[in-house]
Structure 1
């Protein structure tokens, strides 16, 4: 079978004159370039802001973890002291009950109640001072 090429027949249309000039095209191109430049600039500014926020977040998380460690150690010590104190008071309570000593029983119960009323944080004083100390990067925490 011979290779037969198909011939397309049609009408040639002349380009139409547009009402847009070369200046209009240049202006549109300029607007695109300006918008893209502004978009890139805003993107960079926002990326810088995000980096600053991430750095701030990291610093604050580190400060919170450091304060948490100090507070955890404080509570462990405070409650360890209370645990030993309660253990001793309840031992004395049992002894006073076994001996039938009402005077010692009264004093021991009063001691238990007095200790139960106090909070380990009460010794720290004003909690706003604690917050101020937590905000102070130069604060030294001694246990």
Structure 2
């Protein structure tokens, strides 16, 4: 904080006299700044509109892909469930008959099916991505 007892020595400058040209220059600066602000706002608004449109398209694509994937999993797992049910029924029948060779074959089949993944059976994921990117691709389920 400045010492209130200290005397400041200096020179007092006379006020600058502003001319009409100074006032006009200041007005031009304000107009230019407002013009720049309007241009930036328009550019940014256009970018936001583009981003919103992109978002809408991508969300639609994601939802379409999700629907297809859900249907695929429902179908795939329904098939697997039916196969597993049949395999376990055969295992029970082989156990009831005491047929060890049939038990062994059925267990091998169950293990082989359990090892495979529905996604692995879908094929090359890059081909799936290409198909998802293609709006004209027809999906068969």
Query: Which TM-score applies when normalising by structure 1?
Result: 0.84
- 1:98 alignment partner in structure 2: 96
C-alpha displacement of 1:61: 0.4
The 5-angstrom pairing of residues 18-97 of structure 1 reads: 18-97=16-95
Runs of at least 5 residues in structure 2 that lack an aligned partner in the other structure? 1-13
Report how many residues are paired.
128
Q: What is the distance in 2 between the residues matched to 1:22 and 1:55?
A: 49
* Other structure's SS at 2:52 match: helix
Q: Distance in 1 between matches of 2:88 and 2:15?
A: 105
| Cα deviation, residue 17, structure 1 | 6.5
Structure with greater Cα Rg: 1
Structure 1 CA distance, aligned partners of 2:52 and 2:15?
A: 56
Moved over 4 A (4+): none
Aligned partners of 2:137, 2:85: CA distance in 1, in Å?
35
Query: Secondary structure at the residue paired with 1:65?
Result: helix
What SS class does the counterpart of residue 136 from structure 2 fall into? coil
Q: Tell me the TM-score normalised to structure 2 length.
A: 0.86
SS of 1:119's equivalent in the other structure is coil
Q: Secondary structure at the match of 1:138?
A: coil
